[in-house]
Structure 1
Amino acid sequence: MPQDSAICTHGLTKQFDRHLAVHEVDLNVAPGEIYGLIGPNGAGKTTLIRMLAQAEAPTRGEIYINGQQVIPGQRNLAIKQQLGYLPDNFPLYEDLTVWDYLDYFARLYQLSTFRRRQRIQTVLELTNLTAKRTSAIPSLSRGMQQRLSLARTIIHEPIVLLLDEPVSGLDPIARVQFRDLMRVLQAAGMTILIASHILSDLAELCTTIGIMELGYLVESAPLSELYRRPCHQQIFLTTLGDPGALLAELRQYPGVQTWEVLSGQRLRIHFSGNQEDCAQLLRSLVAARIPLTEFHPAPPDLEGIFLNLDHQQVS
């Protein structure tokens, strides 16, 4: 078993009656990494995270956290002490204040009185909630409540964080604050696995991306490597002439997947190819005497990578 992995699974599988939610997943997350898990609803992301957090027992397969194997049917307390798990829509106790809420969870982890007070003060500062320490939980904004949930998740100083849709429902400012906090936790040595539908946030945070489809981990690679692969990208084009002539040429080019007329003579196409393919498309349009005044490829993004992979799976 490799000792250089913070999270590692072999053949991890979960079946509910006839539904195979997670199928033979081999996952490897390096220490100190922020790993992003993406995929459509029903892909198996939440079930996978629940198994890693030991909130769900696998049907078969192996899980290792920092080189220690999770033994089925046992409490695995030493491993759980290393984990922080934030599920989607974690309930908050509305009859408590911020301090009492954190104190409750610190007591569950059996922190001493001195250590408990010290950790609560630390996580309040870290999540920018010190000024709200005596506030009732219902008085907090959605973003503050999410930061409080995260403070609860790290109260016992875990070294591996499992976060399921942690920015769901947050406004842009709260999402920026969350990203900043993730970077602080990573700098402190934590390994973080995040499942999210907001791909732009993951693109700014993550070093490695895993893509799930129908229970399978169909891709797991460094984000820098994924960006180098041919994928769907957007190209903006404007012509002085009849846009119909431009469209006629685009229909003949195999890399052009879809197109959209933005306004008048300006179009946006989704193009599957690398930089050389883009250059060849431009040469073809010029050779066809299309009077272009704009040919602007937008750099590939995580959404384009995901859509391209999804297209390949369907094909």
Structure 2
Amino acid sequence: MTSELAVRTHGLTKQFDNQIAVKNVDLQIRSGEVFGLIGPNGAGKTTLIRMLAAAEEPTAGEIYVTGERFLRGQNNPDLKRKLGYLPDDFPLYDDLSVWDYLDYFARLYFLKDPERSQRLYEVIELVELENKRDSPIGTLSRGMKQRLSLARSIIHNPALLLLDEPVSGLDPIARVQVRNIIKSLQQQGMTILISSHILSDLAELCDSIGIMELGSLVESSGLQDLYDRSSQQEIIISTLGNAEDLQIELRKHDLVKRCEVLPNSSSGANSGAKNVAIQFIGNSEDSAALLRSLVNAGIPIIDFHRTQESLENIFFNLGYKQTS
């Protein structure tokens, strides 16, 4: 992943009549990363994505995509060619076959043979619709239709892919298939912004997270940094020594806020181990330093397991309310 910015906005604002839907958003997304956008309904996520997709003109502010500025009041054809956009309600043409549908959009992007046919084969294989190539769209399942919509949005190999609730209403198997496609696209170098209420999916996919509330971007950071700053971590430590000695050593550390000896659940070769759970408010480097200090103090540590709170819990702990 490079440090080059695929997206940069400054003071981005959208007002409808007397209502401000997006307010002074400064957003940065690095090239090659997957950026997750979360927030309650009405927070402004879809409006922000539509502005980035050049489907909605900003009231104020600036948008840059791979360094090119969005110009208000103009068509921005070069910028639009860099974009792929999958809204949550894009219509499909049920009478067309999968191949003809994708071929139609490829022609709209001026792809010419033999490159056009090669690209169609590539995206159909990527979304796993090879055996449905000649089938009418109306005969496809909901999950297949969503994968086809995703194929349509990347047919021109955009630099930036914008996905608004791409797994909404899909069953677990279909969600996994869409997640795998997104991972493959990132591996190919594509930058992806994805909005979703399914935070477990974002936790698996994203490098960075942005949180919107009442039109403002109230949080934007790397996912691991968000975990480190916001989660209430628990560390389980197992020792072959005396649990009291371990507790005494742990209480010397300011970042350890709770210390509890757990009932012995070890078996086999480590059946004599004592397990201690601590609440820890430090980051990854701090937990590594804690482990080193315990070892240096002569505590015989045999396991040191750092758990991680879910993204959903962090979202709630930050004071926001997830809605569906």
Using structure 1 for the length normalisation, give the TM-score: 0.78
Q: SS at 1:277's partner residue?
A: strand
Relative to structure 2, which stretch is displaced further, 63-72 or 177-186? Answer: 177-186
What amino acid is aligned across from residue 207 of structure 1 in structure 2?
D
Q: How does 1:117-266 map to 2 (within 5 A)?
A: 117-231=117-231
Q: SS at 1:8's partner residue?
A: strand
Quick one: distance in 2 between partners of 1:210 and 1:154?
23
Q: Is the 8 A contact 1:43 1:214 kept in 2?
A: yes
> 1:132/1:159 Cα in 2 relative to 1: closer, same or farther (>3 Å)?
same
Quick one: distance in 2 between partners of 1:296 and 1:166?
38
What is the match of residue 277 of structure 1? 257
Displacement, 1:128? 0.6
What amino acid is aligned across from residue 135 of structure 1 in structure 2?
S
What amino acid is aligned across from residue 149 of structure 2 in structure 1?
S
Q: SS at 2:218's partner residue?
A: strand
Q: Is the 8 A contact 1:38 1:210 kept in 2?
A: yes
| Partner deviation per Cα, 1:145-198 (whole Å, 9 max, x = no partner) | 000000000111111100000011111111111111111111111000000000
| Partner deviation per Cα, 1:201-242 (whole Å, 9 max, x = no partner) | 00001000000000000000001111112446799xxxxxxx
Question: Identity of aligned pairs, percent?
Answer: 61
What is the match of residue 104 of structure 2? 104
1:302 aligned onto 2:311: yes
Q: Quote the RMSD (CA, aligned, Å).
A: 2.3
Quick one: distance in 2 between partners of 1:86 and 1:32?
18
Give unmatched runs, 5+ long, in structure 2: 236-253, 262-274, 280-306
| Matched residue count | 261
What amino acid is aligned across from residue 143 of structure 2 in structure 1?
G
| Partner deviation per Cα, 1:27-69 (whole Å, 9 max, x = no partner) | 0000000000000000000000000000000000000000110
Quick one: distance in 2 between partners of 1:157 and 1:169?
26
Quick one: distance in 2 between partners of 1:200 and 1:39?
14
1:14 aligned onto 2:6: no
Give unmatched runs, 5+ long, in structure 1: 236-273, 284-292
Displacement, 1:113? 3.0
Q: Is the 8 A contact 2:97 2:133 kept in 1?
A: yes
What is the match of residue 250 of structure 1? none
Using structure 2 for the length normalisation, give the TM-score: 0.76
Q: Is the 8 A contact 2:234 2:277 kept in 1?
A: no
Q: SS at 2:72's partner residue?
A: coil
Quick one: distance in 2 between partners of 1:28 and 1:200?
23
Q: Is the 8 A contact 1:87 1:165 kept in 2?
A: yes
> 1:111/1:311 Cα in 2 relative to 1: closer, same or farther (>3 Å)?
closer
Quick one: distance in 2 between partners of 1:24 and 1:150?
30
Quick one: distance in 1 between partners of 2:135 and 2:255?
54
Quick one: distance in 2 between partners of 1:170 and 1:51?
26
Quick one: distance in 2 between partners of 1:152 and 1:110?
14
What amino acid is aligned across from residue 257 of structure 2 in structure 1?
D
